[in-house]
Amino acid sequence: MSTQTEFRICATTGFKIDRNAEKLIKANAVVAVVFLAIGGLFGLLVALTRWPAVHFLPADMFYLALTAHGLDVLLVWVIFFEMALLYFTSTVLLNSRMAAPRWGWVAFFEMLIGALMVNVAVLQGDSSVMFTSYVPMRASPMFYLGLIIFAVGALTVCAIFFATLVIAKQEKTYEGSVPLVTFGALVAAIIAVFTLASGAVILIPTFLWSIGLVSHIDPLMYKTIWWAMGHSSQQINMAAQVAIWYAIPAMLFGAKPLSEKVSRMAFLMYILFLQLASAHHLLVEPGLASEWKIFNTSYALYLAVLGSMIHGMSIPGAIEVAQRRRGFNRGIFEWLRKAPWGNPAFSGMFMSLVMFGFLGGISGVVMGTEQINLIMHNTIYVPGHFHATVVAGTTLAFMAMTYLLVPLIFQREVMFPKLARLQPYLFGLGAAGISVFMMGAGTLGVPRRSWDISGADALLPYDFAGAAYMMMGLNGMAAVLAAIGGLSFIVIVVGSVFFGRRIGDTEAIVLQADAAAVGQYGSSDSHDIRGTLVLVAVFFISFVLYYFVNWKYLSEVWPLS
């Protein structure tokens, strides 16, 4: 294959696009979406099984499907899409050629092969160990090997990303500093290197153990290092999705951050404290000192949370300022009411931001509080929390971004525009539903990863309260809604990419119909962001109330020391 660099100029945005990079963006995004479809289907099957009145799969298939679900969505879908984002932010946004396109394809196939190996191992039925694969439970060697190969591929893409940044800098393809969105992607890539290195440290010995070359792996040590990968990888998602939250309003109506300095500092906080994250998962393990847990679980003094809270004001603030400049200046909320709610890129992005903050962010901090974790650890509250972060947050943000990548990178018009308008709402509502209902069931003690909560086949019976069954039923219904939203997304994207009307190289398209140019304004101007201040105040009050309510719940359980 030719690796000569060829550019086209995007007629809509004016960006110079390297065709090699463009092909890789497409390939990675398509594979990502395919695995979202597969993984989402497993998710639906799992949710239907946990709906007590439906109880769809038999036990062995349930645990198999749950393993496949976690791997295919959290690992394969999310990371493949992030690879596409790394290429996009380092080449397109910087008008640069990409480094080592051949290696890009090597990495792509490594990741694909790794993902397929893991899937085959799981579907063969002897690796239903969940994506966490805690030792001493053992999966087939192919399972660990697939993960390792996948990680090597992803690491290669990070290296290409860094090399591309160097090329862009040397060839002066941009002036001054890299754009904020690229900066966010850089943060994501740095965290990814740390994450993947931790993954190698733990998965390679585990692979050797699975083929009998290593005799023993300490379960607590395994968990500590595994979560150094597992939790920091969530910070990759965080950095990537925050970058998208900044990118979409910028692409639709020229929004710019309130302050470059503040937003970049907030991104940096994700890097500074990430290695502490694995403590979240170890709060009720034997023998760990409280001082260690408190320091680590709070990322020093909640400084990474501080970073997110800063973005939480900066992003809606940027949108508000841009909207007011476009003339939606009446009262506190006209800018929000008159936002492009019919454009799935915007509606998806904004819902992702709000749901991530209110549902995922708050619940995460509460659950990660040393003592409060006692009343939540391993209940289904945990999946409830991370479906708010990684489904309502990350996945919805990635979906929103896809609505821009289809016309700009795939050069296809989005098909089924009516369905596309609706899609973020269907998926968003469903995702919010599964999050809230799983969290609800979790506060009633329902365990995660459990085929049956009735104790019907157990020697000693225990049954949960009726309310717990109701929550799990509602969860099943919300799952159906999320699945319909997810399926709509797949149909729209796959349809558009393969059958959508072609957009010619010289044809400019309209990303947002009524987007008057926002014009220039400095970061330091004083801005009218009253609406954002109200939103932030509501968020803060909810946070404080929910936080203390959970201390109250904790104070009611059996004393323990």
Partner 1 sequence: MAITSPSTKIWWNEPISKQELIWITIAFLWGLVMFFMMIYWHGAGEQNLSSEAYRIKPEVFAERTQAMIDEYTVREEAGFPVVRPPPGSDIYMLARLWQWWPILELEKDKSYRLHLSSLDYQHGFSLQPVNINLQVHPDYEMVVTLTPNQAGEFGVICNEYCGIGHHDMIGKIYVVE
Residues that bind ligand HEM (CB under 6 A): 40, 43-44, 46-47, 50, 66, 69-70, 73-74, 77-78, 130-131, 380, 383, 387, 390-391, 395, 434, 448-449, 479, 482-483, 486
* Binding segment toward partner 1, per CB under 8 A, in 153-161, 342-350, 369-377, 479-487: 369-377
What's the closest the beta carbon of residue 243 comes to ligand HEM, in angstroms? 17
Q: Does 160 bind partner 1 (CB under 8 A)?
A: no
C-alpha to C-alpha distances, 39 to 65, 66, 75, 223, 510, nearest whole angstrom: 9, 9, 10, 24, 33
The correct pick among 327, 331, 417, 447 for binding partner 1 (CB under 8 A) is 447
Nearer to partner 1, 513 or 560 (CB): 560
Give which of partner 1, ligand HEM, none residue 443 binds (C-beta under 5 to 8 Å, depending on kind): partner 1
- Interface with partner 1 (CB under 8 A), residue from 31, 68, 178, 400: 178
Kindly indicate which of the ranges 144-152, 189-197, 242-250, 354-362 contains the residues binding partner 1, using the contact rule CB under 8 A. Answer: 242-250
Q: Are 324 and 258 in contact (CB under 8 A)?
A: no
Nearest CA among 361, 354, 554, 542 for reference residue 443: 554
Site for partner 1 contains 1 (CB under 8 A): no
Residue in 270, 268, 206, 197 with CA at minimum distance from that of residue 234? 270
CA separation (Å) from 51 to 45, 187, 546?
A: 10, 39, 27
Contacted by 256, from partner 1, ligand HEM, none: CB < 5 to 8 Å by type: partner 1
Residue 540 interacting entry, from partner 1, ligand HEM, none, C-beta within 5 to 8 Å by type: partner 1
- 378 contacts partner 1 (rule: CB under 8 A): yes
Q: How far is the CB of 338 from ligand HEM (least distance, A)?
A: 31
Rg, C-alpha atoms of the chain = 23
Region 66-125 residues binding partner 1, contact defined as CB under 8 A: 93
Segment 119 to 158, residues that bind partner 1, using CB under 8 A:
128, 130, 134, 136-137
Distance separating alpha carbons of residues 292 and 285, to the nearest angstrom: 12
In the block, residue with structure tokens 């349809």: 495
User: What is the greatest pairwise CA distance in the chain?
Assistant: 71
Under the binding rule (CB under 8 A), the answer on residue 258 touching partner 1 is: yes
Distance of CA 301 to the CA centre of its chain: 24
Per partner kind, with CB cut-offs from 5 to 8 A, the member of partner 1, ligand HEM, none near residue 4 is none
Nearer to partner 1 among residue 81 and residue 246 (C-beta) = 246
Question: Does residue 306 touch partner 1 according to CB under 8 A?
Answer: yes
Nearer to ligand HEM, 420 or 434 (CB): 434
> Which residue from 132, 125, 141, 131 is spatially nearest to 64, judged by alpha carbons?
125
Decide: 10 and 93 in contact? Cβ < 8 Å.
Answer: no
Q: Least distance in Å: CB of 407 to partner 1? A: 15
555 binds partner 1 per the rule CB under 8 A: yes
The DSSP 8-state label assigned to residue 446 in this structure reads: P
By CB under 8 A, tell whether 166 contacts partner 1: no
CB of 77 to ligand HEM, least distance (A): 6
Question: Of the listed pieces 390-398, 479-487, 490-498, 533-541, which binds partner 1 according to CB under 8 A?
Answer: 533-541
Q: Give me 343's structure tokens.
A: 């454009």
Query: Binding partner of residue 73 among partner 1, ligand HEM, none, CB under 5 to 8 Å per kind?
Result: ligand HEM
Among 277, 313, 339, 396, binds partner 1 (CB under 8 A): 313
Nearest residue to 297 via CA among 271, 279, 281: 279
Q: Which of 318, 354, 438, 497 binds partner 1 (CB under 8 A)?
A: 318
CB 100 within 8 A of CB 158: no
Tell the smallest beta-carbon distance from residue 325 to ligand HEM (Å).
35
User: How many whole angstroms separate alpha carbon 133 and alpha carbon 554?
Assistant: 30
Q: Residue 74 or residue 339: which is nearer to ligand HEM going by CB?
A: 74
Describe the crossing of helices 141-170 and 78-87 by its angle, rounded to 10 degrees.
20
DSSP string for residues in 315-359: HHHHHHHHHHHTT--STTTHHHHTS-TTSHHHHHHHHHHHHIIII
Cβ at position 109, least distance to ligand HEM in Å: 23
Asked whether 439 and 374 are in contact (CB, 8 A), the reply is no
- Residue 52: how many CB atoms within 10 A of its CB? 16
- Judged by beta carbon distances under 5 to 8 A according to partner kind, the member of partner 1, ligand HEM, none in contact with residue 44 is ligand HEM
Interacting residue with partner 1 among 48, 99, 111, 251 (CB under 8 A):
251
Nearer to ligand HEM by C-beta: 73 or 319? 73
Helices in 3-94 by DSSP H: which ranges? 19-50, 59-69, 78-87
CB contact at 8 A, 133 and 143? yes
* Cβ closest to partner 1, residue 10 vs residue 76: 10
* Residue 131 binds which entry of partner 1, ligand HEM, none, CB below 5-8 Å type-dependent: ligand HEM
- Which H or E run contains 9? strand 7-9
- The residue (of 38 and 303) whose beta carbon lies closer to ligand HEM is 38
